[in-house]
Structure 1
């Protein structure tokens, strides 16, 4: 019988991920898989045959090797954080010495680098939405997807998980439900479940989309996706591609990059992400959260709507500049400080 310390790094890697799949989403599992794959392959290249050979020096060598490849500081930070969790698992099953996880160095990342992120700017988002609402594209799939993403701040997985039944037109709400048994997990599982209220314009857009542009399809589990494709429920990559095309600047104006929309290669679904001005669902979420904050929506309300803690919002999602914070959030309160 193989003892824990005799496992190869590859065996331990697969065993660790297999044990965690019930508690993390497929997207998170995929991320862990890739990060640990790099570590395992490095171990094999350096003749580390069993996990019992792992020690502080080996972990330090790996960190130095990855750092020497010129990867971003945030990438190295995240990779070493994942390795720390992996080593904690190895400690728990008594495959390595106690305390080894404490020797995993997780490099600090400056706050500005942690939070540096592209977003869909508020002016652009509102310009796009106003255009969609008044154009022939009103009620199109791209229009509806952008409206929902912008007004709810939902993650890509949340958008994909929505069913037709999750939209209540009379109450003007969207309900996000964790349904892992039928292939739509929410990032925070049952803690990610919530009902989000939407404004008249968003509800009207969804009703128009459902009545005209939505494919009347069921997925492999008999459910009716709100955002459906010809095949049923779209993949995350498909939804990501839809959002890129929904946020093209040439949707409602001239190209800011000097391209002719009629022959621009970015206009194809496969190259949409290469357009410098197109935005992914995560960028829309980031812009949406910033917009919520700029509109003085209470932080706790925003946190509930977008399913993220206030600390995470402040650190990773709220992308307002110092000038924007002053003009949009603090200046309106100046009259409260008037003495006379």
Structure 2
């Protein structure tokens, strides 16, 4: 028997869904859902869908095809975004906004093992070009400080979000990660993710100058002094992600567009669309690139594993992007002279 549906706009449903998620899941999960659902909301607006009651399996399939093309997404990225949409649609079923069982009609792509491994990575060369530009023209700015820290530490963006000023020790030149779920900054691996991270003198100098000259002096709702802030409070993960996408576009750091696009016409120049530049990368791509960079520089895998907070089996499968030729030459360095 079909139940009676109650009219609800996509935007209202999204706001209700996110409000319901607060307190039930980690704050970074709420922010990730918010970021991913923005594309669905944009699509409904562009297609004149102002009532979720009108959604069907066919409608959602059209969105699936559109999102794959619109974001130029591989199977891994598309699956991640559609999983968030499924959770949202299932929640909509519970409040009589869509037909029961509709979430099951959202088909998730199944990446091969090779596709799971073959995700984008910030190359060392591109990282150096971006940082060289920021060090010269935007020294100790929010974007520069964020990029320096991400590349040097390989931290997850959620871990950077959790940092307070007190977690930074300029004398000992290190950061301390702390799991604080009660004040909305949980770590991905909870208490097991807690650790100290050594920093270089250069990165400490950038952090010192950010804190002294450019950081907005605000507290969060819990009275904590935040390491990364905006004028409104703690810098959100979605804003950090936007900044990373923005500054890793070649046109941003002074390079010619490798995609033959006109800056005046390119949609990736607009806020909220920076990820549409094929050369821009996500914060997690910086993490992968940082890990690969450390490994390529002959830092032992155990050291990299402990520093980056990732198990060695996961490191091998998902993060180590060294080619086999690089690995064999590194092994040769160890055995020469034995």
> Taking structure 2 as the reference length, what is the TM-score of the superposition?
0.68
Structure 1 residue 248: Cα displacement: 2.5
User: Rg larger in 1 or in 2?
Assistant: 1
- Pairing 1:194-273 to 2, within 5 Å after superposition: 194-257=195-258, 258-259=260-261, 261=263, 264-273=266-275
Structure 1 residue 231: Cα displacement: 0.6
Alpha carbon RMSD of aligned pairs, Å?
4.2
The 3 A distance-change label for structure 1 pair 171 and 260 is: farther
Conserved in 1, the CA contact under 8 Å of 2:295 and 2:301? Answer: yes
The 3 A distance-change label for structure 1 pair 144 and 29 is: closer
In structure 2, stretches of 5+ residues that fail to align are: 1-19, 37-55, 69-73, 88-108
The 3 A distance-change label for structure 1 pair 333 and 253 is: farther
Hey, what does 1:162 align to over in structure 2? 163
Structure 1 residue 120: Cα displacement: 0.6
Structure 1 residue 277: Cα displacement: 1.4
Hey, what does 1:299 align to over in structure 2? 301
Conserved in 1, the CA contact under 8 Å of 2:244 and 2:281? Answer: yes
Hey, what does 2:181 align to over in structure 1? 180
In structure 1, stretches of 5+ residues that fail to align are: 1-17, 35-44, 47-65, 84-106
The 3 A distance-change label for structure 1 pair 211 and 251 is: farther
SS at match of 1:195: strand
Hey, what does 2:92 align to over in structure 1? none
Conserved in 1, the CA contact under 8 Å of 2:154 and 2:290? Answer: yes
> Taking structure 1 as the reference length, what is the TM-score of the superposition?
0.68
Structure 1 residue 73: Cα displacement: 6.6
State which drifts further: 256-265 or 223-232: 256-265
Conserved in 1, the CA contact under 8 Å of 2:140 and 2:206? Answer: yes
Q: Distance in 1 between matches of 2:272 and 2:286?
A: 19
The 3 A distance-change label for structure 1 pair 315 and 184 is: same
Q: What is the aligned residue count?
A: 279
Q: Distance in 1 between matches of 2:141 and 2:265?
A: 23
SS at match of 1:125: helix
1:122 aligns with 2:111: no
